[in-house]
Amino acid sequence: MASNSDDTEKRNGILCIGEYGRLIDLSKSKPLVDLVIKGFSSNNSEVKQAASIAFGNIIVGNPQHFLSDLFTMIKGAAGNQQVNFVRTILEVVKHAPKVLAAYMSKGLLDLLSSQA
Amino acid sequence: MIAYNMNEGGIFGPEVKLQNLSGFIDKIFTLSNNRNRVLQLNAMETLEAFSRRYPSQFAAQAKQIYTQLESIISRDDIVKAAHALAIATNLIAKCDIAGSEKCWMKAAEFAGHEGIDSEQSTVIALNEFFSTVCAKKDIGAGVINCLKKQISLQARAAVRGVAIISNSKSGAAQVAEF
């Protein structure tokens, strides 16, 4: 659960940015995307989860731009942090599955099999 | 016959032009409360098809229809609520929007339902509804606040509603404060 109202606001804001990013390409709105990415390092599990979902939605808005960022982040993350990105990939699979095909051999299968 | 009729005013005229459809409104809403659920849904689907193809025939009764739809847009029956949202969307798009304000609030309350995400047609109906309202009029702060209050990791329709409003000219400024 979100521990306080500040975390709840953060969670809600991040989710909204994500949905907005699905409608509009946010590749030129770095501050908004950075807000979402910052959520991955939150101590609050709901904020983290919101960031995972939101980043997936942002990727759907411009897969070519953001998918490479995602896999860079996955490679740089510690093993126990990689689980956060599974939810991100789930959102992409839900809304734009075809864009992931090119990444099957570039780390996607490794991530999924390590988290299975 | 309905299936053969094209959109009113389209390039191709209807095969058979249906007239005086507004005379069926009361009967359709009576059927929508029938004990038989199939009849209820058929009645709602019929009004949705009529209002999509012949919206101008319902222009004079739009307010009355909005009032009837308000009570159907609820968490009690997701499928019926989706039909009601689609009917309201058709009318708002082509008729006077006045009188539909309560439908906006009911839609915002409905968006907090966690079961909506698994019903694709309901998700589409809600998205279309908010897009259509935003294209026509400033959506009130009350509706935005209602959506904001219901945001959670599970109630994704509420988040989507805020995103749609923020993507509209009228709602962008109000959501920006959030």
Where do we find the tokens 């969307």? Answer: B89
For B85, the domain range is 21-177
Residues in chain A within 8 Å Cβ distance of B175 = 16
Torsion of CA B50, B61, B105, A25, to 10 degrees: 50
Q: Is the ipTM of this complex over 0.85?
A: no
> Would residue B131 count as lying in a domain?
yes
Q: How much is the pLDDT for B97?
A: 92
CB atoms B159 and A24 under 8 Å: no
> Would residue B153 count as lying in a domain?
yes
As given in the structure block, the two tokens for residue B47 are 């009004």
Q: How much is the pLDDT for A43?
A: 92
Q: How much is the pLDDT for B175?
A: 58
| CA nearest to B107, candidates B135, B136, B71 | B71
> Would residue B7 count as lying in a domain?
no
List the single residue in A15, A20, A24 with the smallest CB-CB distance to B151.
A15
Number of structural domains chain B divides into: 1
CATH code (residue B94): 1.25.10
Tell me how crowded residue A64 is: count the other CB atoms within 10 A of its CB: 11
CB atoms A19 and B160 under 8 Å: yes
Structural domain boundaries of chain A?
5-115
> Would residue B33 count as lying in a domain?
yes
Q: What is the pLDDT of residues B78-137, one digit of tens each?
A: 999 999 999 999 999 999 999 999 999 999 999 988 888 777 888 899 999 999 999 988
> Would residue B12 count as lying in a domain?
no
Cα of B134 to nearest chain A Cα, Å: 15
Most distant CA pair in chain A, distance: 42
* C-alpha–C-alpha distance, residues A52 and A110, integer Å: 18
Where do we find the tokens 């992409």? Answer: A92
> Would residue B25 count as lying in a domain?
yes
Contact call for residues B157 and B112 (beta carbons, < 8 A): yes
A84, pLDDT greater than 70: yes
Q: How much is the pLDDT for B28?
A: 95
A86's enclosing H/E stretch is: helix A83-95
Look at A43-47, A107-111, B46-50, B131-135 and tell me which has the smallest mean pLDDT.
A107-111
- Give me the percent of chain A exceeding a pLDDT of 70: 89
Question: Is A45 an interface residue toward B (CB < 8 Å)?
Answer: no
> Would residue B1 count as lying in a domain?
no
> Would residue B57 count as lying in a domain?
yes
CA angle A60, B139, B151 (to 5 degrees): 50
| Distances in whole angstroms, Cα of residue A1 to Cα of each of A11, A52, B107, B159 | 11, 16, 26, 18
